[in-house]
Amino acid sequence: MQRRLIHTVFFKYVGSEACTSVPISQDQSSSIILTISRFISSCNQDQIRLAPEKFASVCKRFKDQVMLEAPIRGVAPLLTAIRKLQTSSEHLTSLHPDFLLLCLLAKCYKTGRSILDNDILEVDQPRDLFLYCYYGGMICIGLKLFHKALELLHNVVTAPMPSLNAIAVEAYKKYILLSLIYNGQFSSSLPKYTSSVAQRNLKNFCQPYIELANSYGTGNVDELDTVFQTNREKFESDNNLGLVKQAVSSLYKRNIQRLTQTYLTLSLQDIANTVKLNSPKEAEMHVLQMIQDGEIFATINQKDGMVRFLEDSEQYKSCKMIENIDSSIQRIMTLAKKLTAMDENISSDPLYLAKAGRERQRFDYDDFDSVPQKFNI
């Protein structure tokens, strides 16, 4: 009981002192960071859940302070704060985006990745979901996990939104580039469940990226490079220049992959000429890297410089493959059960039923006979 009381008093102290907007000195900042770190580590999670807004406010003030000094100092404390504030692993708190932002600034990508595998079913504020998916996508980009990054950025772009926001626009730009890098193509059509605001306006704010994707689709390296050079300043100001360069570079790989669909053997010189590389040596480096990444299956004869393209040797019957398939099936079954439970909860929610009742037509035409019956009086 005494420990809980100490936590309560200390919490009020930290909340009143640390969350002030008055400028503080360097020494005071370091003291506050250390004090809040200790508090987060030792506080009682049941107690802070009684005042989650105040606790989150303290943690956000803490995040602001460590960003000014050393973001890495805030990574571990904020992760602890999230675990204590969460009611379940499916709960997205207001601290999730702050934690991921610190991981980005500190380049602690693997630590940030640790919270991205949980299925989120409970969200406090829509903005938190947008930032969580956006920062999470950037962390996965840093780890070269492009498939997961695409999934998270796709969630930002297709999430319900009453009006277009800057987060969705920036996410869409990166989504276009990642689609080119990972899939080798980009489709501008969005799913039907995407908000009408996003479907109408997103492309207008991303024209240079749409142009890049269109020129990428032609497979013409020179045309793609022209679009890149024309919009280079825009890409750089958006902090997407690195991704754009990766997208441009990936076109060489896509063109090499197209060759595997036509030829069984081809010389390195022919590959270099076809995909417009500078030399056979550069073509060899591309082919070797693609073989290593599992993007093509081929062998190179060093004597005559010939490349022989092979079929995929995977038979999809190994123990590892079966385990992966089983794991995916189990995850889908679990997710289906959760969705069914959510649907049942919504269907029995009084607010939902009241709204559905108001929108339902007063009369249903099926209640009436199509042909009037005659009665004898």
CB 158 within 8 A of CB 190: yes
Handedness of CA 350, 351, 353, 358 (dihedral sign): positive
263-330 — its CATH code?
Answer: 1.10.10.10
What residues have CB less than 8 Å from 219, skipping those under 6 apart?
A: 251, 254, 255, 258
CA 294 to chain centre: 24
Angle, helices 75-85 vs 26-42, to 10°: value is: 40
Distance CA 108, CA 212 (A): 31
Q: What does pTM read for this prediction? A: 0.83
Neighbours of 331 (CB within 10 A): 11
pLDDT of residue 23: 63
pLDDT of residue 5: 44
Torsion of CA 314, 315, 321, 325, to 10 degrees: 120
CB 253 within 8 A of CB 290: yes
Domain ranges (residues) in the chain: 263-330
pLDDT of residue 186: 93
pLDDT of residue 29: 75
pLDDT in tens, 259-307: 988 888 999 999 999 998 889 999 999 999 988 888 888 889 888 889 9
Low-confidence ranges of the chain (pLDDT < 50): 1-2, 5-6, 9-10, 12-13, 16, 19, 363, 365, 367-369, 371-377
What's the angle, vertex CA 143, arms to CA 190 and CA 216, rounded to 5? 45
pLDDT in tens, 115-151: 998 888 888 889 999 999 999 999 999 999 999 999 9
How big is the chain, counted in residues? 377
Distance CA 140, CA 339 (A): 26
Neighbours of 129 (CB within 10 A): 20
Neighbours of 100 (CB within 10 A): 28
